[in-house]
Structure 1
């Protein structure tokens, strides 16, 4: 079947690579969790996290499938192609390859989430949660020596936030931690603070490029690339800290500063777009925006799952002791042995 439209083989490759990458990353992450679980004496994993991970995956799959269906429907209307049906008496083939090479799926997704202020407010809140999770995974993942940490970041890059986030929390529950050990307090000034600033710049520019074709895609792509920085930016271990018994981010001063700074940047960003009319009508405006497009629904539901997972992880009562950097401990005790 010939479609009178420019062919974008690179876009089609990225789309199918996204699907393959999501499946591969999920498999690697689940196998990493399973191996850690078996190697460390089958520690208890909170059932709530497992249920939340399944709910996140199911909700995400449903709404992202609706995004793809809507894109395909719009594509068939644009080029006067029969919609197609896999079952029933009027079965016709689905032209998935032609759709992937001639549609503008990624651009349509970007245009949908920045189409107006209410949509952008909901969507950008979900995107900011992705940055917060990336920073947490980059710090805690290396402090806990999580194997295959890159796979968790790959999953975070490909899919919305909460699925990779919840699996990361489950991974931390399987790690072996010696009793009576101190936390590694990690210092990362000043380069880590540039990440939320650059991320904010990309998100702020995105609405300006709505309707301008590839510029919107480049801006979104730049924001996604920034999410990798917490995996590769250097960290410095600070020794001699008092022992603590909880993995709460709020008990790490350096992390608290970064968290507060990122929240302040997000607040100032949203303050500029929060004028949605009278306060008593804001809920109805946001609800209308929420139901206006499956892309907005996908990010909004993902934000809800992410907030619930984060709240549970911060408030959980179990005592967890992370592994101390042996190199730092040896350096600290070396001068004493020379005496």
Structure 2
């Protein structure tokens, strides 16, 4: 039986409000960095290349596309979750009681596990995880790119972009980071931050562990181990972007000599990360084909993958994040002539 005068669950309301506020604050911090550097480029008229300004507007539009698509469906996740609760026996019991919006919203949030339910939903079938698993791959690869270019372009607080990816969408944070690079001055080849690289194991280990953890995520959907497994790669991807040279890391002369070797190292490293991403997606594809049936025609496979995008608002949000990541990364490669060295500021 429902309570006649249920209390307002301020804690539950505060959790959602904090989440939305943090997302807005992180976005503002990134946009402030972009605005400050854009003003400097405009004032000094020292854009790194003649096409840089056009690329700035291109990736700004892509960031807008990303936030519009992913968060339209994210708000639909909230609506879907509330509707599910409101039509449940408990929600129906409260529907006969006159109560204000905050009381009803608090009851809904207290009884719902929004984000856990969303991630379990996008991970519970091989067809859905064919989409959602890709966002893990994009995040892992981007964490390495974020660390390298963040140091080279002297972008402050690069970990904010990673946190923004966790709170909003990977593609949105990635596009804002691309925009930040585009409004930044050329990397200083005499700067130790340009040439410095941490011990290889420190960079490789978080990537390997994140990839292995991603393989385990769909296996444990709807089980108690799911959330720890889900959160582990979300933590590990912060490691590369928190690394940087300490005091006395080296002289400018040493940096000049080391810079080219560091660039070659990172070109090879990113190629291996890309190969691991392809292998990971091939494995997800094999699982998906096994689930739908190996004798199913390609057209039917495509239809089922498209159906998975719109099976649930959470699936739509993650799938569109994947689509936007793919589009943005592809265009970043195109504008740099598919030259990995140029993409990481090595030229």
Q: Assess same fold via TM > 0.5.
A: yes
Residue in structure 2 matching 1:257, options 246, 258, 272 = 272
Residue 243 of structure 2 corresponds to residue 224 of structure 1:
no
Instruction: Provide the rounded CA distance (Å) in 2 between the counterparts of 1:239 and 1:257.
Output: 25
| Alignment partner, residue 313 of structure 1 | 332
Residue in structure 1 matching 2:282, options 240, 262, 267 = 267
| Alignment partner, residue 209 of structure 1 | 220
- Does the aligned pair in 2 maintain the 1:45–1:173 contact within 8 Å? no
Residue 141 of structure 2 corresponds to residue 132 of structure 1:
yes
| Alignment partner, residue 174 of structure 1 | 183
Instruction: Provide the rounded CA distance (Å) in 1 between the counterparts of 2:110 and 2:279.
Output: 41
| Segment drifting more, 105-114 vs 179-188 | 179-188
- Structure 2: state its 5+ residue gaps: 48-52
Instruction: Provide the rounded CA distance (Å) in 2 between the counterparts of 1:40 and 1:103.
Output: 47
* TM norm structure 2: 0.77
Residue in structure 1 matching 2:304, options 269, 285, 294 = 285
Please list the CA deviations of residues 219-270 of structure 1 after superposition, one character each: whole Å capped at 9, or x if unmatched: 21222112212212467997536879xxx99982333233334443453455
| Alignment partner, residue 34 of structure 2 | 33
| Segment drifting more, 188-197 vs 263-272 | 263-272
Match of 2:257, SS state, is coil
- Structure 1: state its 5+ residue gaps: 85-89, 325-339
Instruction: Provide the rounded CA distance (Å) in 2 between the counterparts of 1:28 and 1:9.
Output: 27
Instruction: Provide the rounded CA distance (Å) in 2 between the counterparts of 1:192 and 1:220.
Output: 20
- Does the aligned pair in 2 maintain the 1:111–1:210 contact within 8 Å? yes
Root-mean-square deviation (CA, aligned residues, Å) is 3.8
Give 1:293 deviation, angstroms: 0.7
| Alignment partner, residue 58 of structure 2 | 48
- Does the aligned pair in 2 maintain the 1:11–1:100 contact within 8 Å? yes
- Does the aligned pair in 2 maintain the 1:250–1:256 contact within 8 Å? no
Instruction: Provide the rounded CA distance (Å) in 2 between the counterparts of 1:190 and 1:38.
Output: 39
Please list the CA deviations of residues 246-301 of structure 1 after superposition, one character each: whole Å capped at 9, or x if unmatched: xx999823332333344434534554444232242211111221221111111111
Match of 2:76, SS state, is helix
Residue in structure 1 matching 2:209, options 198, 207, 211 = 198
- Does the aligned pair in 2 maintain the 1:118–1:285 contact within 8 Å? yes
- Does the aligned pair in 2 maintain the 1:138–1:231 contact within 8 Å? yes
Equivalent residue runs for 1:68-217 within 5 Å: 68-78=78-88, 79-81=90-92, 93=101, 95-177=104-186, 184=195, 186=197, 188-212=199-223, 214-217=224-227
| Alignment partner, residue 240 of structure 1 | 257
> Relative to total residues, which structure has the larger helix share, 1 or 2?
2
- Does the aligned pair in 2 maintain the 1:290–1:300 contact within 8 Å? yes
Instruction: Provide the rounded CA distance (Å) in 1 between the counterparts of 2:111 and 2:327.
Output: 39
Give 1:167 deviation, angstroms: 0.5
Residue in structure 2 matching 1:294, options 313, 321, 328 = 313
Instruction: Provide the rounded CA distance (Å) in 2 between the counterparts of 1:161 and 1:271.
Output: 25
Match of 1:292, SS state, is coil
Instruction: Provide the rounded CA distance (Å) in 2 between the counterparts of 1:312 and 1:249.
Output: 22
**Aligned residues, how many?**
314
Instruction: Provide the rounded CA distance (Å) in 1 between the counterparts of 2:220 and 2:153.
Output: 40
